[in-house]
Structure 1
């Protein structure tokens, strides 16, 4: 037997059981124990009841077929489409609600309308002898019985759909590597469940007893109970308010830890691993404790991953620089200078971290430059310099191949554009001014300074003061004036500190 067939079988068994308890059990007992009936009247009412039940079953079976159609389609095919699986998944989640609609639709009206109509005919032809107003009480009783049936069916169906949901998710994963879900959408809130369940549980017995008592007292024609309903309404009103308030308090008690967990999960999505406050003494204490253990594990793993990635960037930068002994440590120094500028410019922490990684990898494209060009002792020819000028594009191309692309994408602009100039005479894209990505403008300053102050085979590195002077002269033409001013202030401050320390 397939999962779908088992689901249909279990749903029908639950429905028949619920119908028997509600209609035959509560409804039948309510009618036949409350009314004083002759044998013939009992037979007429039994025939009426079972005829109405038949009409009700037919009407509900038609609607049931419509409600199960999306699920049936997904199970009827060996390879249903992802859209069909998603529709079936959502419809399955909606099934407890649809069950309620069937009970308050074809179930209630399919039973009540035929039953009341037949009863009115029987009263008219004097085949049964009780007042017409009893049919109004019968309608009220039918609504109560339907509410009880709906409550039973809702929770039974909620449990019955679990294997279907599990199967559909596994099917989507195996066929399309997709995880289908409601994505946080709430179809029935906990507040509604508690409110309606508590209200019904608290009020149903009183309402049913009130209806039965009214009929019974009228049959005995007890005059002193003529004001019965004025008393009953007060009692019912108090019971309804008590049930609503009790349901609200119960809902708030349960919703508070759930809302707290939701807030903490949003923080985790934003990269903030905050533990939840454990202030509960019931089963939620275990849930919160488990959640906090998970957060601690995620935080430790994130810390380890961050350490590994930072170590990777630094190691990779040193590996690149080791290819040319005269530029050893260049990428790390460029990253350090870039971070100093960014901090002074009040970049967000996340941006500073990305800038550092981009700076560490800014010369990765030199992997594609021939050794006889990259390691040449003398000055480069024009053709050789043109080959060197390709390294930003090569570097950006290398990084664009790394997955996941969204994690590496913020690093690419700095790698590609750290040799652009403010006057548009740089390379590779001859961008001007604000067209140059901000990482490229910051790294251009740091890269130029380190290049000027580092030793080369054909020249000695120039003094810091001379390099700063050149940066000042190129402000606005070659380099961003804002970042030049920041960097010069940083370096002058450090020079003064060093002078004081040595004096």
Structure 2
């Protein structure tokens, strides 16, 4: 995985370098030289030889610098025994790589090209092989500085884009191995101010300076005015194209972190608290760090709220058990059975959490039932049974009064409708089949099984096998057949471990 990332990274850098160098040196530089100077065929051959010889020396110098700069990245991405400190050092080195690229272009790239080219040109002029003033060499060196600067400017942003998959790979690795993020801790390697100032210099002034230098030479070899304007338009188009591409890259560099932050805020709005990846070395690194601190704070707050709500559910359930000691533990067991059914049915984790809590509170409405009815040892009269049948509605009413409503509302259907029958003869709403809410159908199976197998003052609980037979006989009439089948399959296996770990 890391080896592939490294290979793709190096490949992208090489492509960027070949394209940038070809456009800057052979493209812009070559066109400027051969369209500006009035050269004979032999002089053109000499100039081509000088350019290619100098370019070869430049490549050798830059290859050495490139290899040296890549070495720390290669080590971290190809070794398997890296510590977190190793990853952090490599992360910082990669963040600095665009600046190292600029230094490589301004140093080995510029000097490796310009020094040999100027030296060879002076030798050729001095020996009479080239017929031109020595000051053209000075003007050409200024032009080379301009072109190298613009090339470095463009290469910087291309390298920024190239390093992001590598940074992403390192962050995923350390998160997986050490559960720790990688960060430059808000440090600014290259400020936005510097980017805009350098951008303004090369985007705005580069075409004018390049045109002025070329014009200084062109006027001396001018034959017809129309030739000058044809030439001038060509040079301006080349310079403007170079500048426009640089402006586009600057824009992309600024808009990318903004887009990431906007997406992050949308995720937060949808309660998806994912931290933003730290891929930047300017002021946006501080913004991203602040955003991630906010996300971490929200995660901690949500976890605190979750624990508080869970404690609240447990307290309500325990309160009911204290009221009716004969059914102590019933709500907890129903909750466990319900979660097992939900897991087997493929419910996602957030739905399982809601199901667990709805099942914990499914009988909370019995708090509103009179003691003489709720705690009666013998058989209930019709009126007393009607009183008991009110508990789903009472439970729904109680939860509807609890704040925040958005936390309680997903639980209410399970509490209200866990006594509905699949054939429509249940209560309180006489819903039929899949009209019954999902949680209500699941809890109904779990509640019925625990009620049948639990001891009561007036009877001993059924054996497991007999309760399962009753569930089987009631599938499709009293209970949802899908969840009956799931529950029976669960209970026919050794579920002791599953029951102990379901909550």
Q: Distance in 2 between matches of 1:201 and 1:467?
A: 81
Q: Residues 459 and 350 (structure 1 numbering): CA distance in 2 closer, same or farther, change over 3 Å?
A: same
Residue deviations 1:260-293 (CA, integer Å, cap 9, x gap): 3333333333433322222332222222222222
Residues 428-439 of structure 1 mapped to structure 2, 5 A cutoff: 428-439=428-439
Residue deviations 1:392-451 (CA, integer Å, cap 9, x gap): 111112222333433322211111110011121111111121221111111001111111
| 1:8 aligned partner | none
Contact 1:202/1:239 (8 A) holds in 2: no
Q: Distance in 1 between matches of 2:422 and 2:336?
A: 22
Q: Distance in 1 between matches of 2:402 and 2:410?
A: 12
| 1:414 aligned partner | 414
Contact 1:202/1:240 (8 A) holds in 2: no
Q: Distance in 1 between matches of 2:496 and 2:373?
A: 39
Q: Distance in 2 between matches of 1:430 and 1:314?
A: 29
Q: Distance in 1 between matches of 2:350 and 2:497?
A: 29
Q: Distance in 1 between matches of 2:385 and 2:481?
A: 27
What's the CA shift for 1:460?
Answer: 1.6
Q: Distance in 2 between matches of 1:436 and 1:201?
A: 66
| 2:339 aligned partner | 339
| 2:354 aligned partner | 354
Q: Residues 412 and 348 (structure 1 numbering): CA distance in 2 closer, same or farther, change over 3 Å?
A: same
Q: Distance in 2 between matches of 1:484 and 1:458?
A: 27
Q: Distance in 1 between matches of 2:208 and 2:281?
A: 34
Q: Residues 293 and 495 (structure 1 numbering): CA distance in 2 closer, same or farther, change over 3 Å?
A: closer
Contact 1:399/1:412 (8 A) holds in 2: yes
| 2:442 aligned partner | 442
Q: Residues 295 and 497 (structure 1 numbering): CA distance in 2 closer, same or farther, change over 3 Å?
A: closer
Alignment pair present for 1:367 and 2:378: no
| 1:202 aligned partner | 204
Q: Residues 226 and 430 (structure 1 numbering): CA distance in 2 closer, same or farther, change over 3 Å?
A: closer
Contact 1:199/1:243 (8 A) holds in 2: no
| 1:316 aligned partner | 316
Contact 1:203/1:243 (8 A) holds in 2: no
TM-score by structure 1 length? Answer: 0.53
CA RMSD in angstroms comes to 3.1
Residues 130-169 of structure 1 mapped to structure 2, 5 A cutoff: none
| 1:236 aligned partner | 236
Q: Distance in 1 between matches of 2:202 and 2:479?
A: 75
Residue deviations 1:312-369 (CA, integer Å, cap 9, x gap): 1122111122110101111111111100001011111121111111111111211221
| 1:396 aligned partner | 396
Residue deviations 1:7-35 (CA, integer Å, cap 9, x gap): xxxxxxxxxxxxxxxxxxxxxxxxxxxxx
- How many residues are treated as equivalent by the alignment? 294
Q: Distance in 1 between matches of 2:414 and 2:275?
A: 36
| 2:427 aligned partner | 427
Q: Residues 467 and 223 (structure 1 numbering): CA distance in 2 closer, same or farther, change over 3 Å?
A: closer
Q: Distance in 1 between matches of 2:409 and 2:497?
A: 38
Contact 2:206/2:243 (8 A) holds in 1: no
SS of alignment partner, residue 494 of structure 1: coil
Q: Distance in 2 between matches of 1:446 and 1:496?
A: 16
Structure 1 unpaired stretches of 5+? 1-189, 499-503
Q: Distance in 1 between matches of 2:496 and 2:313?
A: 32
Q: Residues 285 and 440 (structure 1 numbering): CA distance in 2 closer, same or farther, change over 3 Å?
A: same
Contact 2:334/2:447 (8 A) holds in 1: yes
SS of alignment partner, residue 492 of structure 2: helix
| 1:266 aligned partner | 266
Residues 89-128 of structure 1 mapped to structure 2, 5 A cutoff: none
| 2:457 aligned partner | 457
Q: Distance in 2 between matches of 1:430 and 1:269?
A: 38
Q: Distance in 1 between matches of 2:478 and 2:256?
A: 58
Q: Distance in 2 between matches of 1:439 and 1:496?
A: 23
What's the CA shift for 1:478?
Answer: 0.9
What's the CA shift for 1:224?
Answer: 6.1
Contact 1:198/1:243 (8 A) holds in 2: no
Q: Distance in 1 between matches of 2:291 and 2:497?
A: 49
| 2:288 aligned partner | 288
Q: Residues 351 and 495 (structure 1 numbering): CA distance in 2 closer, same or farther, change over 3 Å?
A: closer
Structure 2 unpaired stretches of 5+? 1-191, 499-503
Q: Residues 259 and 497 (structure 1 numbering): CA distance in 2 closer, same or farther, change over 3 Å?
A: closer
Q: Distance in 2 between matches of 1:224 and 1:427?
A: 101
TM-score by structure 2 length? Answer: 0.53
